[in-house]
A and B are shown apart, each in its own frame.
Chain A
Amino acid sequence: MAVAQAPAPQAVRGRLRLERRLSVPPTQAALGRLAGVGVALIVAAVVLALTGRDPFSLLGKALDGTFGERQGLEEMALLLTPILMNALAVHIALRMKIWNIGSEGQFFMGAWAAAGIGIYWDGPLYLVLLVMATAAALAGAAWILVPALARARWQVNEIITTLLLNFVAIQWVAWFSFDIWNDRAASVVQSTAVVQSRMPYFPGSTTLYLSVIVPFVIAAVIFAVFRYTRWGYEVDMIGGNPRAAEFAGIRVTRRIVVVMLLSGAIAGLSGMLHLAGPAQRLNSSISNNYGLSGFIVAALAGNSVVGVVIGSIFIATMLHSGITLQSDGLSVFVVAAVYGLVLLGIAVGEVAARFRLVRSGGLEAVTAE
């Protein structure tokens, strides 16, 4: 067909352009995140090289320090326990599109309840540990009860309520460790006495505690529940569309409360595992931002328990490598910056996976043909 007008001379041919995907296949989503990590590490490597360090030797040392020896692996697993526990707590609520930002607070309340029993009761080891664990789970659940009811009944935004209760929990623990349960003999000023019943060590280890298996058991249970049970199906349907779930006859309000309580219980239990294991004493700085790390993992992992486990191992490895590299003279700030860069990379990768590149013909290009 003859065209009267000549195409504009500055016509851009075959320009690349982003187009949204209709649906994101899981492999694509995983690849996007992986690519994000890769890009972040490359950026970090370039910056490190420019400041006169050898990024490859640093990476080698980091990997070697964590995976090269048993001691490193155990230290990493020690960090992994609370991170994975908190990530699972956030994850189970996220299955319902509910954001439990308060897992840190529930962790503290769990530790507090466990300490109350552990400091004052010197009974049979496993019985005491069991009671401590139960008390911690209940305390964690109790700490999220009000946000859960408010959310289920009146649609009060749980992000605000759970977040704000973190500060209350930390102050609560500070008060007890500074005053009511304070141990004046302790070298740390604001701290309680040690708990009498300690978590046994993992077989053959003097670093890692037996409690490391707990989050893996919980992860396996969550996986099975959501795959094989009616309850799990119902929770996933509520997460997908609460109105459709209600239409299907699912008791939405009740499920929301139960799931949020479970989330709080897992976070509370994680506080007990940490207290009876590495921490021993209760004070307001026993959590090394575990709640936050767990939250980040759960948010980036999407709807997959397997993703939560892999993500937690990854983050624990990064944190542990940071500690190893500090002994090599790398500043704590550099380590933190790399850590932040990698998380940013994952977040960007996750969004990038929703798009793809297409070559746009452009109107000019075609009329010229």
Chain B
Amino acid sequence: MTTEAPRPAVLARNISKSFDGVVALADVDLELRRGEVHALLGENGAGKTTLSNILAGIYRADAGQIEIDGVVHQLHSPAQAIAAGIGMVHQHFRLVAPMTVAENVHLGWDATPTVVTRRELVTRTQRLMDQFGLRVDPEAKVWQLSVGEQQRVEILRVLARGARTLILDEPTAVLTTAEAKDLFAVMRSLVAAERTVVFISHKLNEVLEVGDRITVLRGGRRVVTREATGATARELARLMTGEERELEVVHRDTSDHASVLQLRAVSARSARGLPALHDVSLAVRQGEILGIAGVSGNGQSELAELLTGLRKPDSGHVLLSGERLTDANPRRFAAAGVGSIPEDRIGTGLVRSAPVRDNAVLRHYRSPELSGRVGLKRPAILAFAQRLVARARVQTPSVLSTTSILSGGNQQRLIVHREALVATSAFVAMHPSRGLDVNAAQDVQEALLKARDDGCAVLLISDDLDEVLLLSDRVAVMYEGRIVGLFDRRDADRERLGLLMGGHSSAPPDTTEAG
């Protein structure tokens, strides 16, 4: 290991960690310098989060050593890590929603005075915000804030506690493009002040945009650490996956295809009873992928539930090949040939405590091949499950294993191929590759393309604009419960979509006719 002139901020050597006999990290070295954005790149399960959790004192390494500013530290708790100057902002925020920003910043912090007034908390918070250049209304309740603002509060909280090295775990996963830009600016200002930022991501373009140096992890090992200058997305992808695999998508012109799945002037409410969809009309044509771009929470969840039968419209109609699916329930939609990849795959798509076999037949167990009026045909069910697992390339010890032991990618493979069997006429996919590693994501995307090529009408709802642009033949943008733009793929321009997603109607929605 070369020792360059400046002492590294953090030097982790030979870090190993395994869970239940499964190796998560093997002999990993990581050197973080002052004043750099160090990107940690890798697929899911590559060990990015495990490594950062070890640096943040949440996990203890089985072996290895951590030096902070040249001194060996033993980090047995997050408190010890932050005392040594390492703080982490998690993917899922740890804020108390009904409390104010100022209260959240001071919560569980030694430096908070024992007796303190509301006003003092606000002034203290204001001072911290000025110091770090992170501005949010200190008196706002956390639940009132946007996701980007909440993230700023999290970062402020960690910085206030004296972190000189800040670990951001997939910070852009929840942000809009504009919010991500703001975050990158914050990161740059932090490193300008000689702090260190560890940026975890599996989005290559972001890593190239904001990273100074890049460490790629694969299968719990460090593949390379290199300068970001001169690196290409293609090269990094190859290092991440260890193989070169590219999805070839040929976009189609579907203007003469018949409409299969249609919404006619549909309005609906959210689970909390608030209006979520306003007068939405949309048609998905046979043999096309219609992508819905938009920031999460603009009615996409309700739209997907509506097309699965989990939610009923207040007004308007859902039609399948011209026939109304009124008063429909999930069983009716499935029988009509509408498959669905639910937004929350664990919460809606799977019974995790049940064997893989039971989940494989969740949508088909009523079919005459698998059960009679009363009894289950157990051998046929077993065979069905084994076929599905083989076709979906789900890696599992057995179809009788508990589903919860499968990785996220394998769980999603199971769902996608199960739903593809349901989807004989239409396929509704929400965030189908969210959080998946490159390989699993490509498997999932390939399955959607295959459904399209088989003549299915595919509705792809995703807040990942890259995915929408990659797969869709047509692109619609959803904002505040309305379709604010609809384009053929060749007219869909990233910048314009981004503006519409952010609610800027300055770009006039020159909509092509839906239908």
Let me know if A244 and B350 touch, CB within 8 A: yes
Let me know if A23 and B405 touch, CB within 8 A: yes
Interface membership of chain B positions 404-435, coded 1 if the CB is closer than 8 angstroms to chain A and 0 otherwise: 11000000000000000000000000000000
Let me know if B63 and A229 touch, CB within 8 A: no
Interface membership of chain B positions 1-20, coded 1 if the CB is closer than 8 angstroms to chain A and 0 otherwise: 10000000000011000011
A171 at the interface (CB under 8 A from B): no
A333 at the interface (CB under 8 A from B): no
B396 at the interface (CB under 8 A from A): no
Residues of chain B at interface, number, CB under 8 A: 46
With contacts A363-B65, A367-B65 taken as known, whether A241 is within 8 angstroms of B352 at the C-beta atoms is: yes
A129 at the interface (CB under 8 A from B): no
With contacts A1-B13, A248-B363 taken as known, whether A229 is within 8 angstroms of B352 at the C-beta atoms is: no
Contacts of B71 in A (CB 8 A): 5
A329 at the interface (CB under 8 A from B): no
Let me know if B362 and A244 touch, CB within 8 A: yes
CA distance in complex: A170, B405 (Å):
46
| Stretch among B113-121, B274-282, B329-337 lining the A interface | B329-337
B204 at the interface (CB under 8 A from A): no
CA distance in complex: A243, B345 (Å):
11
Let me know if A22 and B74 touch, CB within 8 A: no
Question: Residue on A with the closest CB to B342?
Answer: A247
Query: Which B positions have Cβ atoms within 8 angstroms of A?
Result: 1, 13-14, 19-20, 60-66, 71-72, 74, 308-310, 329-332, 334, 340, 342, 347-354, 358, 362-363, 365-366, 371, 374-376, 378, 402, 404-405
A179 at the interface (CB under 8 A from B): no
With contacts A21-B20, A241-B347, A249-B329 taken as known, whether A366 is within 8 angstroms of B405 at the C-beta atoms is: no
Let me know if B74 and A363 touch, CB within 8 A: yes
A314 at the interface (CB under 8 A from B): no
Let me know if B354 and A366 touch, CB within 8 A: no
Q: Which of B14, B309, B347, B358 contacts A236 (CB 8 A)?
A: B358
**Minimum Cβ distance to chain B for residue A229 (Å):** 5
A237 at the interface (CB under 8 A from B): yes
Q: Which of A23, A360, A363 contacts B404 (CB 8 A)?
A: A23
**Minimum Cβ distance to chain B for residue A172 (Å):** 38
In the complex, besides A230-B375, A363-B61, 18 extra interface pairs with C-beta distance below 8 angstroms are: A3-B72, A19-B19, A22-B20, A228-B375, A229-B374, A244-B349, A244-B350, A244-B362, A247-B330, A247-B362, A248-B363, A249-B330, A249-B331, A249-B332, A249-B363, A249-B366, A360-B60, A363-B65
CA distance in complex: A246, B350 (Å):
11
Contacts of A5 in B (CB 8 A): 71-72
Let me know if A249 and B334 touch, CB within 8 A: yes
Let me know if B362 and A237 touch, CB within 8 A: yes
A361 at the interface (CB under 8 A from B): yes
CA distance in complex: A128, B83 (Å):
78
Let me know if B378 and A228 touch, CB within 8 A: yes
CA distance in complex: A237, B20 (Å):
28
Question: Residue on A with the closest CB to B70?
Answer: A4
CA distance in complex: A189, B347 (Å):
57
The 4 closest A-B pairs by CB, nearest first: A249-B331, A240-B351, A366-B63, A241-B351
Interface membership of chain A positions 224-255, coded 1 if the CB is closer than 8 angstroms to chain B and 0 otherwise: 00001111010011001101111111000000
Chain A, interface residues (CB within 8 Å), range: 20 to 34
Contacts of A183 in B (CB 8 A): none
CA distance in complex: A366, B65 (Å):
8
A75 at the interface (CB under 8 A from B): no
CA distance in complex: A35, B138 (Å):
54
Q: Most A CB atoms within 10 A — which of B351, B352, B378, B405?
A: B351
Q: Which of B60, B332, B350, B378 contacts A241 (CB 8 A)?
A: B350
CA distance in complex: A189, B336 (Å):
67
Contacts of B66 in A (CB 8 A): 363
Contacts of A247 in B (CB 8 A): 308, 310, 330, 340, 342, 348-349, 362
Let me know if B405 and A22 touch, CB within 8 A: yes
Question: Residue on A with the closest CB to B71?
Answer: A5
Contacts of A364 in B (CB 8 A): 74
CA distance in complex: A233, B374 (Å):
11
Can you sample 12 A-B contacts with CB below 8 Å? Answer: A21-B20, A22-B20, A23-B402, A230-B376, A237-B354, A241-B350, A244-B347, A244-B351, A249-B330, A249-B334, A361-B63, A366-B62
Q: Which of A19, A233, A243, A361 contacts B365 (CB 8 A)?
A: A233
Contacts of B353 in A (CB 8 A): 240-241
* Contacting residues of chain A (150-195) with chain B, CB-CB under 8 angstroms: none
Let me know if A236 and B354 touch, CB within 8 A: yes
* Contacting residues of chain A (258-307) with chain B, CB-CB under 8 angstroms: none
**Minimum Cβ distance to chain A for residue B347 (Å):** 6
Let me know if A233 and B376 touch, CB within 8 A: yes
Question: Residue on B with the closest CB to A232?
Answer: B376
Contacts of B375 in A (CB 8 A): 228-230
Contacts of B63 in A (CB 8 A): 361, 363, 366
CA distance in complex: A360, B16 (Å):
12
CA distance in complex: A241, B365 (Å):
17
Contacts of B340 in A (CB 8 A): 247
**Minimum Cβ distance to chain A for residue B32 (Å):** 18
**Minimum Cβ distance to chain B for residue A186 (Å):** 48
Contacts of A363 in B (CB 8 A): 60-61, 63-66, 74
Let me know if A237 and B72 touch, CB within 8 A: no
With contacts A23-B404, A230-B371 taken as known, whether A243 is within 8 angstroms of B348 at the C-beta atoms is: yes
Contacts of B366 in A (CB 8 A): 230, 249
Let me know if A240 and B354 touch, CB within 8 A: yes
With contacts A1-B13, A230-B366 taken as known, whether A246 is within 8 angstroms of B62 at the C-beta atoms is: no
* Contacting residues of chain A (318-369) with chain B, CB-CB under 8 angstroms: 360-361, 363-364, 366-367
Question: Residue on B with the closest CB to A237?
Answer: B351
CA distance in complex: A8, B74 (Å):
10
Question: Residue on A with the closest CB to B366?
Answer: A230
**Minimum Cβ distance to chain A for residue B500 (Å):** 31
Q: Which of A19, A240, A246, A361 contacts B352 (CB 8 A)?
A: A240
Contacts of B358 in A (CB 8 A): 233, 236-237
CA distance in complex: A240, B351 (Å):
5
Contacts of B365 in A (CB 8 A): 230, 233
Interface membership of chain A positions 194-236, coded 1 if the CB is closer than 8 angstroms to chain B and 0 otherwise: 0000000000000000000000000000000000111101001
CA distance in complex: A281, B354 (Å):
46
Contacts of A8 in B (CB 8 A): 74
**Minimum Cβ distance to chain B for residue A96 (Å):** 12
**Minimum Cβ distance to chain B for residue A81 (Å):** 29
Contacts of B351 in A (CB 8 A): 237, 240-241, 244-245
**Minimum Cβ distance to chain B for residue A369 (Å):** 9
CA distance in complex: A240, B404 (Å):
11
Let me know if B330 and A360 touch, CB within 8 A: no
Question: Residue on A with the closest CB to B345?
Answer: A244
Let me know if A231 and B374 touch, CB within 8 A: yes
**Minimum Cβ distance to chain A for residue B385 (Å):** 13
CA distance in complex: A360, B378 (Å):
44
**Minimum Cβ distance to chain A for residue B349 (Å):** 6
Contacts of A237 in B (CB 8 A): 351, 354, 358, 362
With contacts A21-B20, A246-B330, A247-B342 taken as known, whether A229 is within 8 angstroms of B347 at the C-beta atoms is: no
With contacts A5-B72, A233-B365 taken as known, whether A228 is within 8 angstroms of B376 at the C-beta atoms is: yes
CA distance in complex: A229, B352 (Å):
20
Contacts of B402 in A (CB 8 A): 23
Contacts of B349 in A (CB 8 A): 244, 247
Contacts of B331 in A (CB 8 A): 249
CA distance in complex: A21, B72 (Å):
31
Question: Residue on B with the closest CB to A356?
Answer: B20
**Minimum Cβ distance to chain A for residue B97 (Å):** 21
